[in-house]
Amino acid sequence: MVTIFVLESIHQSGIDVLRDAGKVENMIGWPRERILAQLHRADAVVCKSVTHVDREFIDAAPRLKLVGRAGTGTDNFDKPYLAQKNIPLLTVPRGNSVSAAEFAVMCILMLAKRAVPAIDAVRAGDFRRDLLEGRELQGLRVGLLGYGNVGRLAAERLRGFGCKVLVHDSVAQKMQEAVAEGATPVASVAELLAASEIVSLHATYNDQSKGIINREILQHARPGLWLVNIARGGLMVDQDVLAALDSGRLAGLAIDTLAPEPPFNAEPGSHGYDHPYLHHPRVVVFPHMAASTDEAQERIAVTLARDMCGLIAGWQEEMAQ
Ligand code: MLT
């Protein structure tokens, strides 16, 4: 019987589908060392963004024939080594794009409407609304860095608010799509930061995009720029972003994906995780929850589980011949 390790939480409907294909073992929240010690028994694993499926992980799993990623990003996988070992990596690239795009728009609204300082002020008994004047989205220049699945859906929603959408993507075809859909193309990241009032990051995290928001590029930003990052923390050089927040070059940051990621399964007070953004008055931090909607999680879990079952059935047919 095929043994499938589930290493990060997925929607129950996906687990139910996987049970048709084999024995499902729940190892959610286990420490890495404990998982590594069991991996010799795994034929397939399911994970999300926290598990580092690196060389050490893959070498600890001699039976491993399939990796399922319940989501989009694959920056936590050693893809060349998986390919070398002929282990397919299944993802669900569009499964959470709508949820993520909606979350980006929420962050943009929160920054433009000054929602967090308003909530904090009112909680402290301060009702001086004149100190909290916001901006209308209508006519606001919103820059999107990246026009993939999420950037594109965010643009569609922002157009509904009457925003002027500016786009930079390093892929020419993506730029053409953006233009065809009514966005203003911007030739470089620096120009995007200079021309926008809010910039939302939707780039894939890889060796080329790592630290793309850095000290040099931030010098081009329009003073008082707001930044939204629901993509990956590693797109930004944190100390440079913090310096820009302190100098006023950046007016605020809403971020969903810290680098390194916090311990998502730990009880408050039971861990020593900390990050400078958690203490900055103009930063709003979310726990990598842009994709955490019931709809997206169910869609992703069922799609992934069905795809995994299809591959597993293929192995079983081969073995039966
Ligand atoms: C993704 O890459 O799919 C999202 O960041 C959500 C996740 O990592 O689970």
The full DSSP string for 271-295 is -----GGGG-TTEEE--S-TT--HH
- Please check the confidence at residue 216 and state whether its pLDDT lies above 90: yes
Q: Distance between CA 121 and CA 129 in Å, rounded?
A: 9
Residue 72 CA, ligand 1 centroid: distance in Å: 5
Q: Which residues belong to CATH 3.40.50.720 in the chain?
A: 3-93+295-320, 97-290
- Please check the confidence at residue 190 and state whether its pLDDT lies above 90: yes
> Which pLDDT band holds residue 321 (cuts at 50, 70, 90)?
confident
> Which pLDDT band holds residue 320 (cuts at 50, 70, 90)?
confident
Q: Distance between CA 227 and CA 111 in Å, rounded?
A: 9
Q: Residue 315: exposed, middle, or buried by beta-carbon count in 10 A (0-12, 13-18, 19+)?
A: middle
Q: Distance between CA 143 and CA 229 in Å, rounded?
A: 12
Residue 303 CA, ligand 1 centroid: distance in Å: 15
Give residue 314's pLDDT: 93
Tell me what percent of the residues of the chain surpass a pLDDT of 70: 100
Q: Helices H, strands E: what count in the chain?
A: 12, 12
- Please check the confidence at residue 59 and state whether its pLDDT lies above 90: yes
Q: Is the CB of 71 within 6 Å of ligand 1? A: yes
- Report the CATH fold assignment for 97-290: Rossmann fold (3.40.50)
**Structural domain 3-93+295-320, CATH architecture:** 3-Layer(aba) Sandwich (3.40)
Q: Distance between CA 67 and CA 58 in Å, rounded?
A: 10
Query: Which of 288, 293, 300, 303 has most ligand 1 atoms within 8 Å of CB, for mutation?
Result: 288
- Token duo for residue 301: 């879990």
Q: Is the CB of 296 within 6 Å of ligand 1? A: no
pLDDT tens digits, 217-261? 999 999 999 999 999 999 999 999 999 999 999 999 999 999 999
pTM: 0.96
The stretch 133-145 carries a mean pLDDT of 98
